Amino acid sequence: MEKEIVVIGLGYVGLPSVMNHVENGHQVTGFDIDQKKIDSLNQGVSYLDTMSDELIGEMLKKGTVFTTNEKLLKDKDIYIIDVPTPIDEDKIPDLSYVKSAVNLIEDKVKAGSLIILESTTYPGTTEEYLVQKFAEKGYNIGTDLYIAYSPERIDPGNRQSLSAKIPRIVAGHTKNCLAQAKAFYGDHVSAVSNLKTAELAKIYENTFRLVNIALADELQKITDNLEISVGEVLEAAATKPFGFMKFTPNLGIGGHCIPVDPYYLTWLMEQRGLDTPLISTAGQINDSMLEYHLHKINEYLSEQEKDLSGLKIAILGVTYKKNVADIRMSSVRRLMDKLGKMTAQIVAYDDVLHAYYTKDDEKIHRLEKNYHELTSFDLVIYAVDHELYEENKPKIIENSRLFYDLTIV
Ligand X SMILES: NC(=O)c1ccc[n+]([C@@H]2O[C@H](COP(=O)([O-])OP(=O)(O)OC[C@H]3O[C@@H](n4cnc5c(N)ncnc54)[C@H](O)[C@@H]3O)[C@@H](O)[C@H]2O)c1
Binding site for ligand X (CB under 6 A): 8-14, 31-34, 37, 82-85, 97, 100-101, 104, 119-120, 152, 154, 156, 257
Query: Among residues 12 and 349, whose Cβ is nearest to ligand X?
Result: 12
Residue in 114, 257, 297, 325 annotated catalytic: 257
Q: What phi-psi label fits residue 214: left (phi over 0), alpha (psi between -120 and 50 degrees) or beta?
A: alpha
Start-end of H helices in 24-68: 35-42, 53-61
Shortest distance, position 100 Cβ to ligand X, whole Å: 4
DSSP string for 138-158: T--BTTTBEEEE------TT-
Nearest approach, Cβ of residue 378 and ligand X (Å): 36
Is the CB of 83 or the CB of 234 nearer to ligand X? Answer: 83
| Nearer to ligand X among residue 34 and residue 307 (C-beta) | 34
For the bound state, the minimum distance from the C-beta of residue 33 to ligand X, rounded and expressed in Å, comes to 5
Q: How many CB atoms lie within 10 A of CB 64?
A: 21
The CA distance from 123 to 120, in Å, is 10
DSSP classification of residue 273: T
> Active-site residue 257, yes or no?
yes
The CB-of-73 to ligand X minimum distance in angstroms stands at 10
Closest CA to 207 of 267, 134, 283, 99: 283
Smaller CB separation from ligand X, 256 or 293 = 256
Closest to ligand X by CB, 151 or 172:
151
Half-sphere exposure of residue 318: CA atoms within 13 angstroms, side-chain side: 25
208 CB burial (10 A radius; 0-12, 13-18, 19+)? middle
Min. distance of Cβ 105 from ligand X in angstroms? 9
Q: Which residue is nearest to ligand X (CB)?
A: 11
Q: What secondary structure, in 3-state letters, does 92-143 show? A: CECCHHHHHHHHHHCCCCCCCCEEEECCCCCCCHHHHHHHHHHHHCCCCECC
- Total length of the chain: 409
Tell me the three state secondary structure of residue 262: helix
Residue closer to ligand X (CB basis): 105 or 313:
105
Q: Are the CB atoms for 177 and 203 separated by under 8 Å?
A: no
Q: How far is the CB of 376 from ligand X (least distance, A)?
A: 36
Give me the numbers of helices (H) and strands (E) for the chain, helices first please. Answer: 14, 13
Catalytic annotation, residues: 257
